[in-house]
Amino acid sequence: MNNFLPQNINKLVVPPIKCQGIKTKLVSFIAENIFWKGKGFWIEPFLGSGVVAFNIQPGQAILADTNKHIINFYKKIQVNDINKIVVREALTEMGSNLLQFGEDYYYEIRNQFNDNENPIYFLFLNRSCFNGLIRFNSKGKFNVPFGKKPNRFSKSYITKIVNQVDKVQNIIKDKDWTFLASDYKDTLKLAKANDFVYLDPPYIGRHTDYYNSWDDEDAVKLNETTLKLKCKYALSMWLENKYRKNEHIDNYWNKNQLKTFSHFYHIGSKESLRNKMTEALLLKPQQVNTVTR
């Protein structure tokens, strides 16, 4: 099995779970700027949607997140409890009910999910809630409101999600991957010298965390822990936009290699709301890929 990190992502794999801060636009940038021979484990303490791992596709991986619902969803795919047939049947039925009963049905499913933690319900809520957010209150209950689109689950949209689930399942089944519901500190304790750690923590100063709290103190502790790692690592973090700069990088990551990528994002429907964001990829010194392009 080829465990070497691919330097070019020819066809982007889009995961079935959406979340704020998803790295869909940054995957190729990340792959092109890090080098790892794949002799150990690829470790992600902040898995999120899983988009980086599903595109890097390492042979061995430890993929962790404090959000147990994301971890449970992908573990169910791994053991075939969730597959393309299950997803198509479930979303077809639930989409029909959503079209018929509207937001009342959405909130009924939300209440049920908060009681039974059904991973299919989690997928349904993620794809029908407001802006595809993942957000939980202090009691661990999913609290994102309805997205106001009762006709959301058209046949083509369901097929799109089904194909995403099927693609992810085909990637996972050939890999030695472990999914963990774990705090980053416990996950990083598993890292050894031949491993590679990719970190995508919540962006301080940008938005609230999607599952639990994350503040400046947490970010500083992550920095202290990461700098002690014996293996190579890369960390994604926003650098600046036209309004402000992330001073945390200058204050705590200034000895690391810095690579940047600029892209545009929308926070509304008008062109005036289209803004440029510069993202940072912070690398352990002397690990920058030197392949000529």
Tell me the pLDDT tens digit for each residue of 186-196. Answer: 999 999 999 99
**What's the total number of domains in the chain?**
2
Asked whether residue 133 is assigned to any structural domain, the reply reads: yes
Of the residues 103, 131, 165, the one at which a domain ends: 165
Q: Are residues 199 and 275 in the same domain?
A: yes
Edge to edge, what strands does the sheet with 60-65 contain? 176-181, 60-65, 42-44, 196-199, 232-241, 274-283, 257-266
Q: Are residues 220 and 275 in the same domain?
A: yes
CA distance 75 to 79: 6
When pLDDT is cut at 50, 70 and 90, the band that residue 25 belongs to is: confident
- The pTM of the full predicted model, rounded to 2 decimals, is 0.90
When pLDDT is cut at 50, 70 and 90, the band that residue 1 belongs to is: very low
CA distance 238 to 220: 15
Is the pLDDT at 124 greater than 90, yes or no? yes
Of the residues 107, 136, 165, the one at which a domain ends: 165
Look up residue 238 and give its amino acid.
W
CA distance 34 to 15: 22
Q: Are residues 269 and 237 in the same domain?
A: yes
Asked whether residue 7 is assigned to any structural domain, the reply reads: no
When pLDDT is cut at 50, 70 and 90, the band that residue 292 belongs to is: very low
The average confidence (pLDDT) of the chain is 89
Asked whether residue 170 is assigned to any structural domain, the reply reads: no
Is the pLDDT at 290 greater than 60, yes or no? no
Which of these ranges, 103-107, 154-158, 208-212, has the smallest mean pLDDT?
208-212
Which of these ranges, 2-11, 121-130, 137-146, 270-279, has the smallest mean pLDDT?
2-11
Residue 38 belongs to domain with CATH number: 3.40.50.150
CB atoms within 10 A of CB 264: 9
Q: Are residues 134 and 274 in the same domain?
A: no
Asked whether residue 13 is assigned to any structural domain, the reply reads: no
Is the pLDDT at 18 greater than 80, yes or no? yes
When pLDDT is cut at 50, 70 and 90, the band that residue 4 belongs to is: low
What secondary structure letter does DSSP report for 131?
G
Q: Are residues 269 and 135 in the same domain?
A: no
Is the pLDDT at 203 greater than 80, yes or no? no
Q: What is the pLDDT of residue 268?
A: 44
Which of these ranges, 4-18, 28-42, 131-145, 248-262, has the smallest mean pLDDT?
4-18
Residue 280's beta-bridge partner residues? 237, 260
Q: What is the pLDDT of residue 267?
A: 45
Token duo for residue 57: 């596709």
Q: Are residues 155 and 96 in the same domain?
A: yes
Is the pLDDT at 129 greater than 50, yes or no? yes
Token duo for residue 274: 């289209």
Which of these ranges, 208-217, 263-272, 273-282, has the smallest mean pLDDT?
263-272
Residue 128 belongs to domain with CATH number: 1.10.1020.10
Which of these ranges, 12-26, 148-162, 265-279, has the smallest mean pLDDT?
265-279
Q: Are residues 61 and 105 in the same domain?
A: no
Residue 197's beta-bridge partner residues? 43, 233
Range of the domain at 113: 84-165
When pLDDT is cut at 50, 70 and 90, the band that residue 259 belongs to is: very high
Asked whether residue 49 is assigned to any structural domain, the reply reads: yes
- Region 180-185: mean pLDDT is 97
Q: Are residues 209 and 275 in the same domain?
A: yes
Q: Are residues 102 and 150 in the same domain?
A: yes
Of the residues 165, 193, 215, the one at which a domain ends: 165
Is the pLDDT at 163 greater than 90, yes or no? yes
Asked whether residue 19 is assigned to any structural domain, the reply reads: no
Q: What is the pLDDT of residue 10?
A: 73
- Region 158-185: mean pLDDT is 97
Asked whether residue 293 is assigned to any structural domain, the reply reads: no
Q: Are residues 198 and 150 in the same domain?
A: no
When pLDDT is cut at 50, 70 and 90, the band that residue 205 belongs to is: low
Asked whether residue 2 is assigned to any structural domain, the reply reads: no
Is the pLDDT at 272 greater than 70, yes or no? no
Is the pLDDT at 206 greater than 60, yes or no? no
Percentage helix, strand, coil, to 5, in the chain?
40, 20, 40
